Each structure stands twice: as structure tokens, then as C-alpha cells.
Chains A and B, each alone.
Chain A
Amino acid sequence: MSFLTIEHLEKSFGANRVVKDFNLGIEKGEFVSLLGPSGCGKTTVLRMVAGFETPSTGRIAIGGKDVVDLRPNQRNIGMVFQSYALFPNLTVADNIGFGLKVAGKPRAERTARVQEMLKLIGLSELGDRYPFQLSGGQQQRVALARALAPSPHVLLLDEPLSALDAKVRVSLRNEIRAIQKKLGITTIFVTHDQEEALSMSDRIVVMHGGIAEQVGTPFEVYNRPATKFVANFVGMLNTLSAEVIDAATGRVRIGGTEATLRRPLPEGKVMLAARPEMISLGLQPGRDTVLDGTITSVDFFGSVIRLRARVDGSDLAFDMFNTTEEPPPAPGTDVRLSLLASDLLLIGEN
């Protein structure tokens, strides 16, 4: 039995079904991300867990106790919003102490807990400031501290990093994960940013049109996407059209070469996909398939260089590490690319 269980959850606004038969079990202390494009129903799921929306049908249980009939202020949940939602009339310390105050905790206990939380988020000096005097990143850290101060059973975060600029986003990402691990709090994190989900989560729920398409570890979701949507949404993909020669062994023809995927494939034409890092420049040991192409673009990102090569009329993107000995090929250069055929993903057939 999981700590937080969501069973057959459904939600409709009028005739619009925005969450469809959603099931999820989360273990105590686990960090689970809901990942999907905007409008796919992530926030709605989170708001039902928090108690702001009533499910049309379905069950939500926390610690074995059904919470659907409880009001938000009875659920013992912490929540962090995209817009921070700090109370503008209260100081940072009073914001953090708000949950303890409404719970009627004595002043001494409140002050101690607030100090502890301020230290946790590294803002010990700023307790007397007002929210409008803080940067976005600082405000979001205060919001996190405010949500955690009453020691909730579950922490919900709804795109907490989306309003911040890139640098702060990455550092705060690590900070949130570190605090979550330290406190061992069960967490649901909503995001549309796959990089965030992949780097932070124990498990990811990829959502699409109100449906959970796949639930798995970042490794599983990225390397073994369960559906075409997941494959496309998570990470970057190169598509290759191929013709199946032998369905049983998975032998296909890609352009001028043949390759064996070593797993059964459907008959006829199929759409295969390769992540950029599956493709390497030149012949490499252990890569059994070779493609010929011409470099069309070179993008220098620093430690990594993103190249594109035209193969059989379609562009393939792939990466190489930057080294001083080996400069990247110039556009127009003819190159050989190699990959391991069994890595190829099947994303469509026709």
C-alpha cells in the first residue's frame, strides 16, 4: 500500500473531461513529477490532491485515509505555487510562521521553527524583509519554507520554477531536491519542463490529454518510452523511416544500409527514432550500423557540440564532446555516422 494513493481519478469541467482515469501510488519520501504539455491536466490533478477541486469520481488517500471529503485546511498538505503567492502584508518570518500561527502554536515554538526553516533555505538574515523586497528566487524559497514549516505529510509544487530565470531555475532545482531528500517528504512536482522532471524525480508521470501515458523512473521514461507521445515529448528525437525486411528478427532497410534491431517488428514501413547521443561521428566499436551523410550545421555549446547531418534527405542531430585535438567537421563535409541498431526506438508504423 502506497503512502499516497490516487485511484480512478476523473475530473470534468462541464462537458470537458480534463482528467481521465488517473491512477498513481506514491511511496513515503518519494519525489514524483507530473510532466506534460500545458493544458494536459497536471494542475487539475494537483488541485484535487490539495482539495481545491472536487473529483468527479475516484479516490485519493493519504496514509491510508480517504481525503476526498476533507477541506484543504484539514488535509495537512504543503503547497508551492508558480506565482509564489506570498502574503504581501506579512514579513518573510510571518509568512513562514503563518501555518503554525493558525494552528495555535505558542510563540516560542513558532520563532524557533521559523529560524530553523530560514536556515534551511539559507535566508537567515532576511526574516524581517517583506516579499516585495526579495528576488523571485528568494521569494520562491520562502514559499517553500512556508509550505514546509507546519511539517505537512505531502508537498505539492505547481511549476514552482517557471517564473524564474534560467540560472536561478537550475540552482533552485538542486536546492529543492536536496531539501526534499533531507526532510524525506513525499512530493508531487508539476512541470512542463522535461529537463526539470528528468533531473529531479524518483519517478515521472508523463501526462497527455488528461491521461497518464507512462509512469516510470527518468531512465525508463527516457530510454524506453511507452508511447509515441512520450518518446516525442521527453528528450529530442531523430526520426528515420525504414522498411521492414524480416519482421521476426527486426531486420530493416534504412536508406542504403540494412540493420537488425533484434526484436520483432510489424511488417511494412515503420518509423524509427534515435536520440542524438545514440549517434556518433565516425566508426565506433560496438556500433553495428553505418550511415553516410553531409554535415549541414554545427552549433557550439561549450563542452558539447551539436551537429546536424543530412542522411537520405532527412536531418539527423547528434552530439560530440568538445576536445582541443579534434575540431568538429565544417558544414559540407561528408561524414560517416554509426549507431547500435538495437537502441533504435519504434515510434510508428504505416
Chain B
Amino acid sequence: MQPEQGTRRGALRRLPLVWVGIAPFVLFVTLFLILPTLKIVIGAFQAGDGSFTLQNIRDLATGSIPAAFWISIKISVASALLGCAIGFAMAAAMILGGLPAAIRGPLLTFSGVASNFAGVPLAFAFLATLGPLGLVTVFLRTQLGIDLRALGFNILSFWGLTITYLFFQIPLMILIITPALDGLKREWREAASVLGATGPQYWRMVALPILFPSLLGTFALLFANAFGAVATAIALTGSSLNIVPILLFAQIRGDVLGNPNLGFALAFGMIVITGIANTIYIWLRARSERWLK
């Protein structure tokens, strides 16, 4: 009993000194991460005179805001779903499909590059490819007689943005799911097979359930990733597409909503949605790690 008490008292005395070591870090994240976010969150619940109100949150249901949230969520879900599916297919092809081992390194490096190649340049790359004068558009029209525009395709649209987002969504999926696929032990497949299971049975009863938390978690991460993407959307569509980040951008620039606190509420809505998505991600991640120990 005695020595334990002694060390505890010692720890208490030393505590302030220990904290000095991370004081700069605490100060930095407080000033430039926590406080700014809190400012937004609190502002979302304040009226112009600083009093508490729920009116801003209620006002999110007015004007073009619900539509903006709806289309943002749709684009994020679509690009996350497709990103997960295609990224998974490519990672599975690389790891389980018997492709030459030499493909792995370059593909992962390329994924690292592409997942970071977002923003304005990415938008121009797609404009130069699928825009009205883009490489593919022109090729299809002049060589094959297929007019994308006549078919209803427009790069400045829901599908245009989704296809563009996929350029960083797919690589992110590959980067995250590769370790999970590597974690599928060869012995599991062999054990299933020797117990009489067919390939599809193995995937349905063993592999997919094991991967499921990672898959769903990565989906949540990709969703948040697309939901917060501002630069690509603005560079691609200007302000012609009504999505939440563009609306918020315009609001910060020039108070287009005519109510500063509604801007706070809009930003708060973004935090809530990406926050939920990321909580799901972290929670599922922990679950899958528990299994794969």
C-alpha cells in the first residue's frame, strides 16, 4: 500500500512538468483546430445577437440547402460505392488473381500518387478528357460517331463529378483494402476447400464476412472524403452545381444566404455528416482488427 501511494503522489507532483513537453502541441491544436471548429458549432446555435436558438438548424430545411445536401450525399454515396467496388476488384485482382507480383509495387505507388492528386489539377485533367473538347469526347464523336452530349452526358453534372471523384476514391480504396486482403490467410481458403466448400461458398461464408468491417469502414471514409471535397468541384463546375461545399464556399465569400449564422449551420451540418461517417469507420476498423489479430 505504502509505496503505491508514494508513487502516485510523485506522479501528481511531476504531472505539470510532463505536460510542458506537449504544451506547444496542445496550444496549436486548441487554437487552430479545436477552437475554430467549436466556433462554428456554437455559431450554428446562435442568433445574430448571440443568444441561443435552433432557428439556424431549422433554416437548413429552406431554400436550396436541402437540395444541396441531397445531391452532395448522392454524389458521395455513388463515388464511395463505385470507388469501393472498383478499388476492391483491382486490389483483389492484384493479390488473389494470379497477376505477376511485379505489378504490386508500381500499382501501390501509383495509388499513393493518384489518391493525393485531387483538387484543381484533377478537374482540368477530366475536362481535357471528357469535357466538350476533351480527348475521349472528340475521339468518340469523330471516330465512332458517338455524341456523348447527345446521350445526355455532361462533365458538369452528377455523373461527371462522380467519375472525377473516382480518380482519388479508387486509389484510396486500393491503399486501405490491400492490407485487409493480405490479411486473408491462405490457410483459411485451403481449410474451407478441404472441408468441401466451393470458391463462392468460401467467399460468402468466410472471406466477405471477415472483410465486411473493412469494406464498410472504408466506404464511410470514402464518403467523408467526397463530401468534404471542395476544390475539384469548384474547378470543374464553377458554381453551376448546387452541392454543399460549393454553397458554403460561396457563403463564406459573400454571404449568399443572407444570414451569417446559417453559414455556421451549413458547416455544422457538414461536420455532423462526415463525423458520423468517420465514427462508423473507426468503430468498424477496431472490430476488424480484433478479429484479425
Contact = CB atoms under 8 A, between A and B. Distances in A.
Interface in B178-234: 185, 187-188, 190-198, 201, 205-206, 209-210
Given A50-B194, A73-B196, A89 B210 contact: yes
A98 B192 contact: yes
Interface stretch (A76-84, A197-205, A216-224): A76-84
Interface stretch (B71-79, B138-146, B285-293): B285-293
B204 to A, nearest CB: 10
Interface in A130-157: 130, 132, 143, 146-147, 150
A45 B261 CA distance: 73
Contacts of B290: 132
A151 to B, nearest CB: 11
B217 to A, nearest CB: 15
Interface string B274-293: 00000000000000001111
Interface string A259-276: 000000000000000000
A183 interface: no
Interface residues of A, number: 29
Contacts of B205: 87, 90, 98, 101-102
Nearest to A81: B187
A225 interface: no
Contact of B194 (A79, A89, A103): A79
Given A88-B210, A89-B209, A89-B291, A81 B201 contact: no
A87 B191 contact: yes
A52 interface: yes
Interface string A46-61: 0000111000000000
B209 A52 contact: no
B197 A98 contact: yes
B11 to A, nearest CB: 34
A150 B192 CA distance: 12
Given A102-B195, A150-B196, A52 B190 contact: yes
Contacts of A103: 196
A177 interface: no
B208 to A, nearest CB: 9
Contacts of A88: 210, 291-292
B209 A77 contact: no
A23 to B, nearest CB: 24
A83 to B, nearest CB: 6
A210 interface: no
Interface string A105-140: 000000000000000000000000010100000000
Contacts of B196: 73, 76, 99, 102-103, 150
A228 interface: no
Contact of A85 (B190, B198, B292): B190
A98 B193 contact: no
Contact of A99 (B190, B195, B198): B195
A76 B195 CA distance: 7
A77 B193 CA distance: 10
10 contacts: A52-B193, A78-B195, A79-B191, A85-B185, A85-B187, A85-B190, A89-B210, A90-B205, A90-B206, A99-B197
Given A51-B193, A73-B194, A85-B187, 8 more contacts: A52-B190, A72-B190, A83-B185, A85-B185, A89-B210, A89-B291, A90-B206, A147-B195
Interface of A: 50-52, 71-73, 75-79, 81, 83, 85, 87-90, 98-99, 101-103, 130, 132, 143, 146-147, 150
Interface of B: 185, 187-188, 190-198, 201, 205-206, 209-210, 290-293
